[in-house]
Amino acid sequence: MRYGPERWLACSHCGGALRFRALLQVDARLAQLWSDGYVDSPSVPEQPLVVACGHCQGSVWLPELADATGSDGVDYRALTEEELWALTRSYGEELSEHQLHLRLKLWQLANHRHRRGESQVVWSDRERRNLERILGLLDLSTATEVMTAVEVSRQLGMFNQALGLLVRVEGELPAALLTQVEQRIQARDPRVFSVRANGEAGHECRR
């Protein structure tokens, strides 16, 4: 793991300086990719895009902050799940990259309980609405967006829709990934799974 030089970023709410070091290089050997795009890596701390300011606790998007002049800064902190929900509500019906990012993040957080072994997929009302909103926010202009729509549809139990979308990315994404997704659609299995590069599915949680 290699970090860039320390920088100071100015909070967009209070102007306070926040300490920031970009992660430049990571050891990806231990990283595990999941079908919802989440990357599990015990050796690499997550670098979130949106965090809470260490001074005023306001939510800030790190890539959008200007450099700060002072160096009396503090650390930012990760947002809690409830803070992410609250922030999503503040974006209302707005179609934006911010809203999509937050909602994808909440989807991944909801899937954590299955990553930990919970076998039954039961969404709460807000989690289900969140997945439906993601489908509305995706413009399906790239293979990655289509694949996200496939996985959200599959996880909502909309298997026919998932299969219809999956054929649109044939030849554009690794065949091993498409095979693993298709097998689960055919089996009407809505669970998140860890993706294996060689085509074999990873961790399975038993039903």
Site for Zn ion, rule CB under 5 A? 11, 13-14, 16, 53, 55-56, 58
In the bound state with Zn ion, the residue whose beta carbon lies nearer, of 53 and 149, is: 53
Whose Cβ is closer to Zn ion: residue 37's or residue 54's? 54
Shortest distance (Å) from residue 83 CB to Zn ion: 14
Comparing CB distances to Zn ion, the nearer of 16 and 190 is 16
Separation CA 63–CA 49 (nearest Å)? 7
Nearest approach in angstroms of CB 144 to Zn ion is 33
Of the candidates 188, 144, 145, the one whose C-alpha atom is nearest the C-alpha of residue 163 is: 188
Q: Which helix (H) or strand (E) holds 50?
A: strand 50-52
- 3-state DSSP helix/strand/coil % of the chain, to nearest 5: 40, 15, 45
Q: Is 63 helix (H, G, I), strand (E, B) or coil?
A: helix
Q: Tell me the residue type at 167.
A: V
Comparing CA positions, the residue from 166, 207, 206 lying closest to residue 186 is 166
Q: How far is the CB of 170 from Zn ion (least distance, A)?
A: 47
CB of 130 to Zn ion, least distance (A): 27
Q: Phi and psi dihedrals of 9, rounded to 5?
A: -115, 145
| Least Å from the CB of residue 99 to Zn ion | 22
81-90 and 97-115 helices, crossing angle to 10°: 150
CB-nearer residue toward Zn ion: 60 or 138: 60
- Pick the closer one to Zn ion by CB: 52 or 104: 52
